[in-house]
């Protein structure tokens, strides 16, 4: 067998090629086009992107987009550990709306297992995904407005995002690296003060959106720099597999939430905003309208969400700490111990058993037991160990499944292949930002150098999703 790491000999080209000949032959009048590197360390290139551009004056004749080296080895790492261990890696795919990535991956594994999560959990996933979508759009619009000089808008948007992130923090315990999804459910139920907190945050967000509308939507400078810039046709967008706000700005009403409804989206009433030209201004308007729709979805879901099961009977034995529970077990008084709710350390708050059952699937093959059961009974401990130990764990039958959710930037798909063991054989993430990046040169070429900034900003490129 040949050494698999050996590469076939290929010519390393000094000047990279885009689609076609590059650089262009010099014009007949004796002038020459200028080759310029924009990025990777440039204030308008978010992160590690390099655009290698051929300029004729200030006009972009030809561009080549490079996505740089931000490598954590997401897919390789997922293949190296048990199913639930991939959850922290999915957090880091999209660092402005990590909850959607969590739930997308968890749903793909659930599809592979053939289990359904509880209804309350589906509502929680919808609510948290929509809140994440709002934070994502706020960041995108705020950042691109700032790059056009509208710094006030950025501050307002980040203020609104802060209110929403506080809600996320209340639920998950973290703001960025939330790791809230679980195969078969979520980590814990919503906290009791959740609903008023969301309403308060939405009120603030709506105020901010009103202000931003007044500042931007009719603003002469903003409109002049956004309208007719970065246009991509409907055919090109479909050929480049662009989804999300960029596709909807071209007038295609494709939204995974509506096209192939998952969780409880088919029970909720919402509209899919579309544009018609497919330029930067339409993308801005689509995102602004989507945030309003997301808030509408959350408010409906909060009204429709079923409550968890009734608390179990205390039977006159109000144990409060695990140590009392253990003491009672040592004395041999084990009658009905499993029914007794106990309170754990505050670090594990939100793991109370009845809530755990409300938000997680009742499938012992996949779902970790609540901490009360784990620490309070030998059956729970054994089940926990079996799911955690190497070689046991979640074992979906051999096969493959693709599950798509509507991420903030478009279709976010997870393709998971199982070989029947407790670790995924292959995890593939279909990132929503890779296709627009692949089509970026089509949006840039022929435009002005300065238009690159709003066009690139409107893509909302998230580098964490681009790498494997």
Partner 1 sequence: MDGSAILARLQERFGAAVLATHDHRGDHTAVVDRGVVLDVLRFCRDEPALRLDMLMDLTAVDYLNYPGREAGPRFEIVYILYSVSENHRVRVKVGVEEDDPVVPTAVPLWGIANWYEREVWDMFGIRFDGHPDPRRLLMYEEFVGHPLRKDYPMNRRQPLVGPRN
> For residues 77-136, which are near partner 1 according to CB under 8 A?
77, 80, 111-112, 114
Contact indicator for 403, 111 with CB cutoff of 8 Å: yes
Nearer to partner 1, 27 or 399 (CB): 399
Within a 10 A sphere around the Cβ of 382, how many other Cβ atoms? 12
Minimum Å distance from CB 240 to partner 1?
5
- DSSP, collapsed to helix, strand or coil, labels residue 224 as helix
Q: Is 52 a binder of partner 1 (CB under 8 A)?
A: no
Minimum Å distance from CB 1 to partner 1?
8
Considering only residues 27, 306, 309, 399, which one is a binding residue for partner 1 as defined by CB under 8 A?
399
Q: Is 19 a binder of partner 1 (CB under 8 A)?
A: yes
Minimum Å distance from CB 428 to partner 1?
5
Residues 6+ apart with CB under 8 A from 401: 108, 111, 112, 415, 416
Nearest residue to 112 via CA among 458, 464, 426: 426
The token duo for 458 is 């409107």
Minimum Å distance from CB 49 to partner 1?
13
* 448 φ, ψ (degrees, to nearest 5): -85, 155
Minimum Å distance from CB 111 to partner 1?
5
> For residues 337-356, which are near partner 1 according to CB under 8 A?
none
Task: Tell me the window of 49-57, 327-335, 354-362, 414-422 that interacts with partner 1 (CB under 8 A).
Answer: 414-422
Within a 10 A sphere around the Cβ of 203, how many other Cβ atoms? 12
Q: Is 13 a binder of partner 1 (CB under 8 A)?
A: yes
Q: Burial level of 157, CB count in 10 A (0-12/13-18/19+)?
A: buried
Minimum Å distance from CB 429 to partner 1?
9
Nearer to partner 1, 252 or 295 (CB): 252
Q: Is 48 a binder of partner 1 (CB under 8 A)?
A: no
Nearer to partner 1, 127 or 394 (CB): 394
Letter string b/e over residues 419-446, b meaning 16 or more CB atoms within 10 A of that residue's CB: eebbbbeebbbbbbbbbbbebbbbbbbe
Minimum Å distance from CB 80 to partner 1?
6
Q: Is 333 a binder of partner 1 (CB under 8 A)?
A: no
What is the full DSSP assignment across 90-145?
HHTTSSSSHHHHHHHHHHHHHHHHT----HHHHHHHHHHHHHHHHHHHHHHHHHHH
Residues 6+ apart with CB under 8 A from 4: none
Q: Is 7 a binder of partner 1 (CB under 8 A)?
A: yes
Site string for partner 1, 248-267 (x = CB under 8 A): ----x-x----xx-------
- DSSP, collapsed to helix, strand or coil, labels residue 149 as coil
Q: Is 14 a binder of partner 1 (CB under 8 A)?
A: yes
Minimum Å distance from CB 95 to partner 1?
19
Residues 6+ apart with CB under 8 A from 1: none
Minimum Å distance from CB 73 to partner 1?
7
CA distances from 360 to 116, 373, 442 (A): 9, 14, 45
Q: Which residues bind partner 1 (CB under 8 A)?
A: 2, 4-8, 10, 12-14, 16-20, 67, 69, 71, 73, 75-77, 80, 111-112, 114, 236, 238-241, 252, 254, 259-260, 398-402, 404, 411, 413, 415, 417, 419-420, 425-426, 428, 430, 434-435, 437-439, 442, 466-468
């Amino acid at each position: 067998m040949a050494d698999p790491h050996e590469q076939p000999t290929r010519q390393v080209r000094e000047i990279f090629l885009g689609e076609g000949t590059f650089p262009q032959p010099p014009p007949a009048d004796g002038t020459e086009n200028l080759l310029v590197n924009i990025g990777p360390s440039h204030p308008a290139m978010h992160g590690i992107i390099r655009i290698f551009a051929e300029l004729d004056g200030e006009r972009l004749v030809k561009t080549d987009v490079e996505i740089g080296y931000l490598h954590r080895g997401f897919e390789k790492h997922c293949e190296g550990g048990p199913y639930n261990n991939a959850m922290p890696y999915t957090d880091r795919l999209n660092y402005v709306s990590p909850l959607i990535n969590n739930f997308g991956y968890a749903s793909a594994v659930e599809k592979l297992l053939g289990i359904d999560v509880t209804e309350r959990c589906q509502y929680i996933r919808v609510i948290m995904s929509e809140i994440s979508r709002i934070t994502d759009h706020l960041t995108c619009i705020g950042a691109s407005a700032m790059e056009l000089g509208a710094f006030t808008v950025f501050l307002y948007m980040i203020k609104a995002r802060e209110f929403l992130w506080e809600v996320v923090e209340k639920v998950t315990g973290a703001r960025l690296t939330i790791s809230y999804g679980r195969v078969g459910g979520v980590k814990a139920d919503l906290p009791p003060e959740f609903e008023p907190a969301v309403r308060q945050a939405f009120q603030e967000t709506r105020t901010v959106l009103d202000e931003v509308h007044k500042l931007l939507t009719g603003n002469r400078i903003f409109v002049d720099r956004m309208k007719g810039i970065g246009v991509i046709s409907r055919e090109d967008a479909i050929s480049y597999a662009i989804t999300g706000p960029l596709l909807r700005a071209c007038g295609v009403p494709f939204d995974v939430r509506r096209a192939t409804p998952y969780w409880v989206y088919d029970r909720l009433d919402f509209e899919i905003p579309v544009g018609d030209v497919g330029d930067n201004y339409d993308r801005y308007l689509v995102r602004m309208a989507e945030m309003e729709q997301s808030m509408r979805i959350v408010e409906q879901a909060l009204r429709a969400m079923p409550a968890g099961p009734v608390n179990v009977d205390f039977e006159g034995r109000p144990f409060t700490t695990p140590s009392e529970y253990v003491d009672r077990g040592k004395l041999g008084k084990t009658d009905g111990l499993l029914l007794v709710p106990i309170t754990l350390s505050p670090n594990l708050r939100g793991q109370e058993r009845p809530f755990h059952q409300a938000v997680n699937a009742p499938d012992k093959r996949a779902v970790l037991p609540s901490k009360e059961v784990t620490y309070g009974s030998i059956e729970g401990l054994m089940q926990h160990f079996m799911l955690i130990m190497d070689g046991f764990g979640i074992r979906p039958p051999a096969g493959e499944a693709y599950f798509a959710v509507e991420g903030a930037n478009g279709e976010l798909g997870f393709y998971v292949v199982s070989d029947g063991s407790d670790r995924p054989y292959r995890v593939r993430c279909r990132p929503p930002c890779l296709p627009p990046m692949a089509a970026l040169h089509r949006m840039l070429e022929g435009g002005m150098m300065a238009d690159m900034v709003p066009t690139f900003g409107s893509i909302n490129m998230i580098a964490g999703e681009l790498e494997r």
